[in-house]
Chain A
Amino acid sequence: AQTVTQSQPEMSVQEAETVTLSCTYDTSESDYYLFWYKQPPSRQMILVIRQEAYKQQNATENRFSVNFQKAAKSFSLKISDSQLGDAAMYFCAYSDSAGKSTFGDGTTLTVKP
């Protein structure tokens, strides 16, 4: 079974600065997808960014980018120019060949003004 580990239960960042959230996973599959989801205090989970395992190029979405290290099974999220609206719980997720997603325990991000 796949496992996803987020080793940082809580992180904080000053507004306008950069923060990196860590995620590692364990799998024996070679083809899979990785995702970062954001769950703000309103509770609706939304997709932040995704990475296809077969792509070497790291995904980027505006201020959000990932550092995908396939051999190390690492998938970190970098948030640049942090904004107050980035405050939320962030979940790393792995999607297997059957389309089932496994989630980490989440990292609560606080943004300080």
Chain B
Amino acid sequence: DGGITQSPKYLFRKEGQNVTLSCEQNLNHDAMYWYRQDPGQGLRLIYYSQIVNDFQKGDIAEGYSVSREKKESFPLTVTSAQKNPTAFYLCASSPWTGITGELFFGEGSRLTVL
């Protein structure tokens, strides 16, 4: 079945460590996105990519990094510079038709900093 796969579902990190969250899609979508979700808040955009080897910062990019070497993959690295990384992270993709950007989501990854 086509969809978006995020891994791991749960991740624990010690302070000072970098961690990488995986996001893979087999929907042949051009655009991919990373969102952060905190309790009681909506989704906030971290990074997005509309084409391979290109990506843009979203509203809260500080302390995060991404790469887009393949169309189907968009991993997110949470660096030690991210001051409050404990959150739920959602990856999404969209068939790039610009403004009509309906999003297809993965099941999410929950990161907890110990």
Contact = CB atoms under 8 A, between A and B. Distances in A.
A110 to B, nearest CB: 16
Given A91-B42, A100-B45, A103-B43, A43 B107 contact: yes
Residue from A9, A43, A91, A99 with most neighbouring chain B CB atoms (10 Å): A99
Contacts of A4: 42
Given A43-B108, A100-B48, A33 B100 contact: yes
B99 A31 contact: yes
B31 interface: yes
Interface residues of A, number: 30
30 contacts: A4-B42, A6-B42, A33-B99, A33-B100, A35-B103, A42-B107, A43-B88, A43-B108, A44-B105, A45-B105, A47-B103, A93-B103, A95-B99, A95-B102, A96-B99, A97-B98, A98-B98, A98-B99, A99-B96, A99-B99, A100-B45, A100-B48, A101-B33, A101-B43, A101-B45, A101-B101, A102-B45, A103-B35, A105-B41, A106-B42
